[in-house]
């Protein structure tokens, strides 16, 4: 199989996103609100999906499975894992709370941006499963994995930009919590 090094590199990069998600989750005692928890989980599960999807062709090809059968097996695994994880993720209390607390305009905008990544990713995998473009299956699969990596990166970026600012000594809430006075 060609592109072994490329798939291994994509898995390594996704592993970094998983690590960053884990690091963010344990900083200062962990996430404190539903939005942070939901996005940390998103970064981690998407990153894990990319790791598995990127490693699948490398591992499966070791069994002398080639051509359409290789990409079919990997695409089916990627689709089942993606939708399974999506169902579990979307049913978490933090995700439901975050969606309920997000302004509708923001939710629509975020959904459109997510759909621009997820829909082509899923379509690429479905095209591999259906097999109408056998010569393009490696490219379609790589496109799906690349879009997954992009989605993990955007989710991590959203998480970082949505973090609250640290409280300063002049912040009345920080002063009150520390027992000081703001006067």
pLDDT tens for each residue of 67-79: 999 999 999 999 9
135 inside domain: yes
* Residue 46 confidence (pLDDT) above 60: yes
What is the arithmetic mean of pLDDT over 84-112? 89
**Chain CA centroid to CA 96, Å:** 17
169 inside domain: no
Report field, pTM of the whole predicted structure over 0.95: no
172 inside domain: no
CB contact burial 80-116 (16+ within 10 A = b; e otherwise): ebbeebeeebeeeebbeebeeebeeeeeeeeeeeeee
98 inside domain: yes
User: Token pair 């002398």 is at which residue?
Assistant: 64
* Residue 164 confidence (pLDDT) above 60: no
168 inside domain: no
85 inside domain: yes
176 inside domain: no
Q: What is the span of the domain harbouring residue 147? A: 4-162
The pLDDT value recorded for residue 160 is 77
174 inside domain: no
* Residue 178 confidence (pLDDT) above 60: no
The rounded distance, in Å, linking the Cα atoms of 162 and 173 is 20
Number of domains in the chain: 1
Highest mean pLDDT among 25-29, 85-89, 103-107: 85-89
Provide the token pair at 174: 């920080």
């Amino acid at each position: 199989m060609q592109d072994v090094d490329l798939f291994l590199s994509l898995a390594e990069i996704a592993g970094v996103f998983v690590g960053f998600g884990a690091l963010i989750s344990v900083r200062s005692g962990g996430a404190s609100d539903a939005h942070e928890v939901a996005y940390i989980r998103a970064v981690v599960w998407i990153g894990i999906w990319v790791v598995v999807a990127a490693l699948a062709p490398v591992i499966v090809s070791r069994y002398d499975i080639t051509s359409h059968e290789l990409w079919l097996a990997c695409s089916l695994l990627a689709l089942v894992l993606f939708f399974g994880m999506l169902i579990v993720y979307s049913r978490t209390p933090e995700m439901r709370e975050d969606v309920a607390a997000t302004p509708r305009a923001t939710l629509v905008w975020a959904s459109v941006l997510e759909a621009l990544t997820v829909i082509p990713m899923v379509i690429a995998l479905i095209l591999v499963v259906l097999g109408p473009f056998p010569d393009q299956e490696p490219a379609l699969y790589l496109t799906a994995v690349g879009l997954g990596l992009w989605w993990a990166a955007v989710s991590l970026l959203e998480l970082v930009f949505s973090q609250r600012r640290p409280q300063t000594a002049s912040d009345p809430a920080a002063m009150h919590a520390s027992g000081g006075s703001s006067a």
